[in-house]
Amino acid sequence: MNNPFFSDFNTPFDTYPFDKIKVEHYLPAIEEGIKQGLAEVETIINNKETPNFANTIETLEKVGGLMELVSSAFFNLNSAETSKEMQELAKEISPKLSDYSNDIMLNDALFKKVEIVYNTRSSLTLTPEQHTLLNTTYKSFVRNGSKLDIVQKEKVRAIDKEKSHLSLTYSENVLAESNAYELIITNSADLSGLPEGIIEAAKITAKEKGKENAWVFTLDYPSYGPFMTYSDNRILKEQLFKAYGSKAFKNNEHDNQNVLKQIAILRYERAVILGYKSHADFVLEERMAESPNKVFSFLENLLDNSLSFAKDELAELKAYSQSIGGPSDLKKWDVTYYAEKLKKEKFAIDDELLRPYFKLENVISGVFETAKKLYGLSFIQRNDIPLYHKEVTTYEVKNAAGDLLAVFYADFFPRAGKRQGAWMTSFKNQKMVNGVNIRPHVSIVCNFTKPTESKPSLLTFNEVTTLFHEFGHALHGMCANSQYGSISGTSVYWDFVELPSQILENWCYEKECLDLFAKHYISGETIPAEYIQKIVDSSNFQSGLATIRQIGLATLDMAWHSQNPKDITSVKDFETQVTAKTELMNSVPETSTSCSFSHIFSGGYSSGYYSYKWAEVIDADAFEAFKEKGIFNKEVADSFYENILSKGGSEHPSILYKKFRGREADPKALLRRAGLVKED
């Protein structure tokens, strides 16, 4: 078999030859990658020279090149363009990779060499980045069990293998449940309140699914969100809300209750074996927050500052609903609908007013122009780079000097093989190899509103901010300029990784930025200044409720991971109990957040969901630096690029941030921006 992974790609910028890679190529390449990686480890072990930074730490950093190449392609596509065949293969590959990782991390001879170098660190002449690599390498061995006895090491191996299997199962269950549901409407009267474009999109979905004379709504957010926001049919909204909230919580073949409990228990058991009180204690040791107590204190402080605002906002919404003949007993499936009406009444603005100004292609041009004005970057679309799906677009990215900075993949629309949500990922990380700066291949994957037969893809304002958010992550990856791939780009402390993404959202509220791209898709008219002012005026609409929701999710995450979960019998009862302070409306019995909380049970956010709010504090403070001197000020942008975007995890984030800002972040910056400060 001619396997593309076993030869040079011979593609532009050495991009993956997706047009040649087939599912059957992955497993043989993974197995060869494992073989090569372990052989490379043996070379380090058998080196008779005294262990030093170069022959041990730097050489170990280079181990597993083929493995990294193959697994990156496989797992990225398993999220963005999966199939039953890919999912079955993932179940076979994941345990192999778990064993491979443990064969390295639990290798006594290798660890002894790493430990020798680590113990001489005070006498070594190293750069700050080299110090970071040495520390993270040593800690990764210890945190993966290198100091355990043989029996404990075997327990860790077994746990890691089972965890990898369960995380895949969890993710597959959520995807299967999302794909299985359809709200089929055959009576046009049931479309009352829905915008024309949403109705047209539902008609297209129906045709794609072989449903004639019908409209189909799904659990993909571009379908689900507008229906919940605009539909006048309260009964159908209740149905759709419960379908969305009950994903993998139906006691059927795709139920995640036992799956997530097993994941939580295994994480706890692993942490205890390694000498920690809980999984959260284990995770937060390598975070800016440092400990569960600090996270809970942070969330409690946010709650104290936002709860009264949230209660007032909910009371206002209930009163408004009654005033226009709505229900007196507001339910969760009513909130978005009446909030949108209230927002329109208070600010004379809604998504349908703004959509015509946010044609996807224009927003993409806008975010590119923003990156150019800030950092001198340029994006050239390429039609010769192989794609993993026809909807993907690729770009060559150049820096201000005209040199190659990165390859950028953009994948914007929902489809059956793509998981929900939006994310940034890398196919190849930036690193230095033999003096050559290997540039990264970065991707953003989203689920935006699709074009219809009569309209292009017109985004909601929330989708615009999502695109800017994910592009902020992409900039962090693209601008990376580190020596070592393992601490390059977005490989930073998890509660710092959201800074580059969240700060870029701020530009969406600035006239100077919106004027670059917000133009009516028919007339070409620039978005009126009064609309921009309405966006700004309404930006803190119900910010208290939004903050409470995020606090609730972060609290739920910490609750699962900061204690022994073995005694938790009911997922639903546990959720209700731990989020009681943030639940301002009655819980819906048929729904469960945990069962489709992919961020923490199949993503990388376990004990880290708080990081969104944590990073908001930092990004609010950081953006104030831009506001002080101008949102496209070159001095501030250069400093952000040099000290944040290009540095990756080369130094502790608090050091990098102080280099940019000259001080620590002011925690009140977030409260000021969100309007959560009581006036005297």
- Per the CB < 8 A criterion, the answer to whether 544 and 274 are in contact is no
- Per the CB < 8 A criterion, the answer to whether 641 and 376 are in contact is no
Quick one: how far is CA 322 from the chain centroid? 38
CA dihedral sign, ordered 16, 21, 27, 32: negative
Query: Which of 457, 535, 445, 519 lies closest to 198 in space, CA to CA?
Result: 457
CA atoms within 13 A on the CB side of 212: 0
The secondary structure of 143-191 as a DSSP string is: HTTTTS-HHHHHHHHHHHHHHHHHHHHHHHHHHHHHHH--EEE--GGGG
- Per the CB < 8 A criterion, the answer to whether 403 and 390 are in contact is no
Amino acid letter, 286 = E
Query: Which of 657, 662, 666, 284 lies closest to 499 in space, CA to CA?
Result: 657
HEC per residue, 28-72? HHHHHHHHHHHHHHHHHHHCCCCCCHHHHHHHHHCCCHHHHHHHH
Catalytic: 470?
Answer: yes
Query: Which of 93, 97, 98 lies closest to 82 in space, CA to CA?
Result: 93
Q: Which of 81, 129, 313, 470 is catalytic?
A: 470
3-state secondary structure of 526: strand
Instruction: Give the strand pairing for 436-438 and 431-433.
Output: antiparallel
DSSP state of 359: B
Residue numbers annotated as active site: 470
